[in-house]
Chain A
Amino acid sequence: MLKKLKSAERLFLLIKKQFPFNVSSVNKGKICNEMQRLINDDPESWLNTISIWKNLLELDAKKKRLSQRDANLLKRKMGENDTVITKKLKAEQMQKTQENREYQLEKQAEEETLAQGNFLTSREKLQLEECQNEAAEAAGTPSQNDLTFRVSCRCSGAVAKTFSAQEVGRIIGIALMKQFGWKADLRDPDVEIFIHLNDIYSVVGIPVFRAPLASRAYIRTAGLRSTVAWAMASVAEIKAGALVLDPMCGLGTILLEAAKEWPDAHYVGADVSDAQLRGARDNLKAAGLEDKIALLQVSVVELPLPSESVDVIISDIPFGKKFKLGKDIKSILREMERVLHAGGTVVLLLSEAHCRSLTDGEESSIPSNSEGRRTDEPGAEKCLIPEGETGTSETVPPSLEASNQECLPKIPPFGSLMPVECYKVSLGKTDAFIYKYKKSHSSGL
C-alpha cells in the first residue's frame, strides 16, 4: 500500500539521526568510535526498526490488513500532500518509527506543509501501530540473528575528507556483526543499511522497499522522472471528462502518470520528433494506456486545435540541454493560452532560465520577440535531465541550506494566465519549478 505513494522517490525507516560527526580532530580512531556508537549505544532502536521493516514487508506481501478504505483515504491525503512534500523530499523521505513516532520532513518552513505533515503523522502512526499490534499477535518475532545485510554509505563534506565511503561501510559493517551477529552479504542481502554522513546530519536508515518507489512497472522508458510527472498531474486538477494536452510530450511520461491515476479523461500528447513519438507509442503500449492517450505530430506553437478547446495543459518545457527548444517560451505560452478554456489549468515544469525569461520580459515591457532565448549563466551548474533514470540513481541530497534561502521566483501573469502556485522540485542534479496557471474568465482576447 505504501507503494501507492506516487511522488515519493524512496521511503526509509529511520534508525538514527543526529548531528554531524565532529571531524575537526583528525583522529580517525576517535571518529571510528563515534560511528560504532551509532550501533552500540542503542541496539534497541536497531532491532525495533528491523522488526517494523519486516512487518511492513509481510503486510505488503499478504495484502490484507489495511482495508481498501483506509488505503484510499491515505492515498487521497497523500495525493494532497505529495505535491508539497515532493520537492521537500529531494532524493529521500525519512520516516521515524521510534517511540516519538514523529514524521520528519526535511523542508522549508511553511505552515501548510506543517499542517499536512502533522496530519500525515497521525495517519502513519495509526498504520504503524497496527503493524506493531499485528506483530505482537503473530506467533513470536522472527529470529533476528540470521539476517544478512549490506551497508550502503554516502559521505560528503568534512567527513568525506577523512574517510572513504568504503571505510565507513566497513566500520559499520563490523560493528553490526559484532553487536547483532548478522552476516554481511554484498550480493543479495536481506536488509540494506543506508548511511549518510555529511556536514548537516548523520543519518542511518533502512529502505522499506528494494526498488525505489519512483520506479514504475508501467513505464518502459522514462523521460522526466515519474515522481515529478505525477506531482504535476496531481496539481493540474484533472476532472472526469477533461481534455488534457501535453504539447511537448516526449516519451509521454506525464501523460502516462496522469492517465494511470485519473483515467476518466481524454489525453492528447504532441511532439515534433519522430523518435520521441515512437518511444511514446511504445510506452503507451507497454502500459496498456493506448486507449486513453492519443498522439499527434505537431508543433507546440501551431496546435491544430480550436481556441478554448482544452481543459488542462501539462508540460515539461525542454530545458535546452538535452532537447532543443525550437521556439521561445513566450510563443509557446501564447499558443497554450489560446487553446485553453477559460478557467482551465496550465502546469509547467520550468528551469530557472525559463523563469528568468518570463519574469524579465514583463518588467522591461519589451516585446517578446527581442527577448530571444536565455542561455544559462556562467557558474550555474545545470546538468542534463538524466534520461531513463527514474530515481534509481544514487542522487546526492542537495544541500538543505540552499533551498531554504532561495525565494521562489515570482512570475507575473501571462496574458490571461494567472499564476496560482509554484513548487520547487529537485531533478537530481538540477532544480526546477512546477508552475501552475489558471486562465481567467475575464473577457478579452
Chain B
Amino acid sequence: MKLLTHNFLSSHVKGVGPRGFPLRLQASEVRIMPVEFNPDFVARMIPKLSLGEVPTEPIQGYEQNEDFLRTMHHILLEVEVMEGTLQCPESGRVFPITRGIPNMLLSDEQTEA
C-alpha cells in the first residue's frame, strides 16, 4: 500500500464519519520501490491530499518546484507498506495489511471464487 493510497482511505466503521480520518498506520515491513517520476501527475495529486494540520494552500508555484515534487513523489509513490496495520482513530478497530493489500472488510464476508 502506497502512502498516496493511504491518504485517500478513511474509516468506514459505523458512526465514525469524518473522525475516521486519517487511519493510523503502523508498518512492520516497508519496501522502497523506484517509480518513474511524473511531475505532472504528482503536481495534480497534491491538491487532493488531506494533509491535516498543514495549511491547505500549497506554496505558490509548487508545480514548478522540482525538488519539492520529487520529494513528494518519493514519499507518496515509492514507499510501499507490505505488512502492518491501519487503525481507526475513533473506534480503535484495527485492519491488517498483508502483502501490500489492506483488508478492511467490516463483516466476515470473503467469497472464495
Contact check: which of B5, B12, B33, B107 meets A303 at CB < 8 Å? B12
Contact check: which of B77, B100, B110 meets A272 at CB < 8 Å? B110
Known A-B contacts A266-B4, A275-B113, A323-B111; the reply to A297 vs B40 at CB < 8 A is: no
Question: Which residues on A are within 8 Å of B, measured CB to CB?
Answer: 240-241, 243, 264, 266, 268, 272-277, 281, 290-291, 294-299, 302-306, 309, 322-324, 326
Assess whether A264 is in contact with B106, with CB atoms less than 8 Å apart: no
Chain A's closest residue to B12 (CB) is A304
Assess whether B41 is in contact with A298, with CB atoms less than 8 Å apart: no
User: A-B pairs with CB below 8 Å: how many?
Assistant: 94
Assess whether B105 is in contact with A299, with CB atoms less than 8 Å apart: yes
Assess whether A272 is in contact with B104, with CB atoms less than 8 Å apart: no
Assess whether B111 is in contact with A296, with CB atoms less than 8 Å apart: no
Assess whether B105 is in contact with A297, with CB atoms less than 8 Å apart: yes
How many angstroms between the C-alpha atoms of A273 and B105 in the bound complex? 10
Assess whether A304 is in contact with B101, with CB atoms less than 8 Å apart: no
How many angstroms between the C-alpha atoms of A324 and B8 in the bound complex? 28
Residues of B within 8 A of A274 (CB): 110, 112
Q: Quick one: CB contact mask for B25-51 with A, threshold 8 Å, 1 for yes?
A: 000000001011010110011001000
12 example contacts (A-B, Cβ-Cβ < 8 A) are as follows A241-B40, A241-B44, A241-B45, A264-B38, A264-B44, A274-B110, A277-B101, A291-B33, A294-B1, A304-B12, A306-B21, A322-B113
Assess whether A297 is in contact with B102, with CB atoms less than 8 Å apart: yes
Assess whether B35 is in contact with A291, with CB atoms less than 8 Å apart: yes
Min distance, Cβ A291 to any Cβ of chain B, angstroms:
5
Assess whether A273 is in contact with B38, with CB atoms less than 8 Å apart: no
Residues of B within 8 A of A240 (CB): 40-41, 44
Known A-B contacts A243-B8, A304-B11; the reply to A298 vs B104 at CB < 8 A is: yes
Min distance, Cβ A268 to any Cβ of chain B, angstroms:
7
How many angstroms between the C-alpha atoms of A281 and B4 in the bound complex? 18
Min distance, Cβ B45 to any Cβ of chain A, angstroms:
6
Contact check: which of A243, A273, A305 meets B112 at CB < 8 Å? A273
How many angstroms between the C-alpha atoms of A179 and B45 in the bound complex? 64
| A-side interface mostly | loop
Chain A's closest residue to B86 (CB) is A304
Q: Most chain-B Cβ atoms within 10 A of its Cβ — which of A243, A266, A303?
A: A266
How many angstroms between the C-alpha atoms of A274 and B40 in the bound complex? 34
Q: Quick one: CB contact mask for B78-113 with A, threshold 8 Å, 1 for yes?
A: 000000000000000000000111111111011111
How many angstroms between the C-alpha atoms of A295 and B104 in the bound complex? 11
Assess whether A304 is in contact with B104, with CB atoms less than 8 Å apart: yes
How many angstroms between the C-alpha atoms of A82 and B18 in the bound complex? 41
Q: 4 closest Cβ contacts across the A-B interface?
A: A241-B44, A294-B5, A297-B103, A304-B12
Chain A's closest residue to B34 (CB) is A291
Chain B's closest residue to A293 (CB) is B5
Assess whether A297 is in contact with B104, with CB atoms less than 8 Å apart: yes
How many angstroms between the C-alpha atoms of A296 and B103 in the bound complex? 6
Assess whether B105 is in contact with A275, with CB atoms less than 8 Å apart: no
Known A-B contacts A241-B41, A303-B12, A304-B104; the reply to A268 vs B5 at CB < 8 A is: yes
Known A-B contacts A241-B45, A273-B113, A323-B113; the reply to A298 vs B10 at CB < 8 A is: no
Assess whether A306 is in contact with B44, with CB atoms less than 8 Å apart: no
Q: Most chain-B Cβ atoms within 10 A of its Cβ — which of A264, A274, A324?
A: A274
Q: Does B75 sit within 8 A of A, measured CB to CB?
A: no
Min distance, Cβ A85 to any Cβ of chain B, angstroms:
30
Residues of B within 8 A of A294 (CB): 1-2, 4-5
Assess whether B109 is in contact with A272, with CB atoms less than 8 Å apart: yes
How many angstroms between the C-alpha atoms of A209 and B24 in the bound complex? 52
Residues 56-81 of B contacting A (Cβ, < 8 Å): 77
How many angstroms between the C-alpha atoms of A277 and B8 in the bound complex? 20
How many angstroms between the C-alpha atoms of A238 and B85 in the bound complex? 31
Assess whether A295 is in contact with B105, with CB atoms less than 8 Å apart: no
Known A-B contacts A266-B4, A275-B112, A302-B12; the reply to A296 vs B40 at CB < 8 A is: no
Assess whether B104 is in contact with A296, with CB atoms less than 8 Å apart: yes
Assess whether B10 is in contact with A304, with CB atoms less than 8 Å apart: yes
How many angstroms between the C-alpha atoms of A241 and B79 in the bound complex? 19
How many angstroms between the C-alpha atoms of A304 and B102 in the bound complex? 11
How many angstroms between the C-alpha atoms of A70 and B33 in the bound complex? 36
Min distance, Cβ A341 to any Cβ of chain B, angstroms:
10
Chain A's closest residue to B78 (CB) is A291
Min distance, Cβ B5 to any Cβ of chain A, angstroms:
4
Residues of B within 8 A of A297 (CB): 101-105
Residues of A within 8 A of B112 (CB): 273-275
Chain B's closest residue to A299 (CB) is B105
Contact check: which of A241, A264, A281 meets B101 at CB < 8 Å? A281
